[in-house]
Structure 1
Amino acid sequence: MTVTAEADGVRVVVCSGEFDLDTTGLLIDACDVRPVPAGLLVVDVRQVEFADSSFLNALIRLRNTRPMALRGPLPSQLRRMLEMTGALALFDIRETPGHAG
């Protein structure tokens, strides 16, 4: 997981690999939940190979605490989970131009 700060207060967290109950805390830590920053949080999920409900719960909690967007395209497994739970509509998904999806 990589955290980079970009211009205009945008914080980007790049997630890769598998996320379950044991590893989702890394996402929360990387996003620095406290204190709530004023800028936009972008969670890049393009390289997520597997995510379970704990990852989804973390994304929803983050979304509820600050302005947030997901950088896609979404991996198929993550998209299916968001669609099946009805959570897809909760997120601002920003597709990256030029990335095969």
Structure 2
Amino acid sequence: MEQWVRVLPDEDDVRVIMCAGDFDQDTLQPLDRACANAADDPGVRRIVLDVTRITFADSSMLNLLIRMLRTGRLVVAGPVPPRLERLLELTQVRDLLPTAEGIAAARAL
């Protein structure tokens, strides 16, 4: 699967970042940059990360999720793919992540 990162136009101070493909230390930079830009923007009150199309994630992706969680503005839009779900469960990060089923539900939180 092709890897891509798309940032949707902000609506109601919510930034949605969609991504697809494999994310590891060699391929994380576009997503990391999009998340950092959202975190650095004081006009963004919520950051929605759509993870439904992630096919692989390693500890680099896990680290990014934890950094974004620390902003207090992250909501993960799922459903969370099985491979990412397994990583989050094994590291006990799953219960810490605010998660909603789909982008619309995540925007509404």
TM-score by length of 2: 0.81
Which ranges of 4 or more aligned residues in structure 1 deviate by more than 4 Å? Answer: none
CA displacement at 1:37 relative to structure 2: 4.4
Distance in structure 1 (CA, Å) of the matches to 2:63 and 2:43: 20
CA displacement at 1:11 relative to structure 2: 0.2
Distance in structure 2 (CA, Å) of the matches to 1:40 and 1:56: 19
Does the alignment pair 1:14 with 2:27? no
Distance in structure 2 (CA, Å) of the matches to 1:25 and 1:6: 21
Residues 5 and 69 of structure 1, relative CA distance in 2, 3 Å threshold: same
Distance in structure 2 (CA, Å) of the matches to 1:63 and 1:70: 10
Q: How many residue pairs align between the two structures?
A: 97
Counterpart code for 1:42: V
Does the alignment pair 1:28 with 2:32? yes
5+ long unaligned stretches in structure 2: 104-109
Please say which of residues 34-43 and 51-60 is displaced more in the overlay.
34-43
Contact 1:12 1:42 in 2 (8 A): yes
1:54 maps to what in 2? 60
CA displacement at 1:35 relative to structure 2: 4.3
Contact 1:37 1:66 in 2 (8 A): no
Does the alignment pair 1:4 with 2:8? yes
CA displacement at 1:36 relative to structure 2: 4.7
1:22-53, Cα deviation, whole Å (9 max, x unpaired): 12121121121434544100000000010001
TM-score by length of 1: 0.87
5+ long unaligned stretches in structure 1: none
Coordinate RMSD, CA, aligned? 1.6
Distance in structure 1 (CA, Å) of the matches to 2:63 and 2:50: 16
